[in-house]
Amino acid sequence: MLIEDSRNNRFFQIGLEEQKILNELREKSLETVALETSNTKEDLEDFIKSLSLKGILARPLLNKELIPKPPKKTIFSLLSKRFPLWNPDKPFTEINQKYSWLWKAPLFYFHILTIIFTAFLWFDSSTTFIKELNFNLFYNPIIDLTIFFAIVFLILAFHEVAHGLTLKSYGGNVPEIGLFFIYGIPTAYTNVSSAYKLEKRSQKALVVLAGILFQAWIGSVAYIIWYFSYAGGASSAIHKLAHLFVTASFFNLIINLNPLIKLDGYYLLTLVLNQPNLRAKATNLLRTGFKEVKSFNEGLLLFIYWIYSLYLVFIIFSFFGMMFLNIVVKNAPVFSGILLLFLIIAGQIPLAEKKK
pLDDT in tens, the chain (356 residues): 555 555 555 666 666 667 777 777 767 777 777 777 777 777 777 777 666 655 566 555 544 444 555 555 555 555 567 788 889 999 999 998 898 888 888 888 999 999 999 999 999 888 888 888 765 565 666 777 788 888 888 998 899 999 999 999 998 889 999 988 766 567 888 988 888 888 888 888 899 999 999 999 999 999 999 998 876 555 677 888 888 899 889 888 888 887 877 788 888 888 888 777 777 777 777 666 666 677 777 777 888 888 877 777 677 666 656 655 665 555 556 665 666 666 555 545 554 454 44
Domain termination site, one of 35, 66, 97: 66
Q: Answer yes or no: do 23 and 172 share one domain.
A: no
Residues 42 and 111 both lie in one domain: no
Residue 342 inside a domain? The answer is no
Instruction: State the residue range of the domain holding 172.
Output: 77-274
Tell me whether residue 295 is in a domain.
no
Backbone angles phi, psi at 350, to 5 degrees: -75, 145
Cβ atoms 73, 350 nearer than 8 A: yes
Last residue of a domain, one of 255, 274, 293: 274
Q: Give me the numbers of helices (H) and strands (E) for the chain, helices first please.
A: 13, 5
Residue 339 lies in a domain: no
Q: Could you count the other beta carbons within 10 Å of the beta carbon of residue 210?
A: 24
Is 195 domain-assigned? Answer: yes
Domain-embedded: residue 237? yes
Q: Are residues 13 and 100 in the same domain?
A: no
Question: Could you tell me if residue 114 is inside a domain?
Answer: yes
Q: How far apart are CA 305 and CA 282, in angstroms?
A: 7
Q: Residue 202: which H helix or E strand, with range?
A: helix 201-228
Burial class (CB in 10 A: 0-12, 13-18, 19+), 158: middle
Q: Specify whether the CB–CB gap between 178 and 82 falls below 8 A.
A: yes
If one counts every other C-beta atom within 10 angstroms of the C-beta of residue 163, the result is 24
How far is it, in rounded angstroms, from Cα 82 to Cα 10?
14
Residue 329 has what DSSP assignment? I
The residue from 274, 309, 337 where one domain ends is 274
Residue 327 lies in a domain: no
Same domain, 48 and 180: no
Identify whether 323 is part of a domain: no
Co-location of 206 and 93 in the same domain: yes
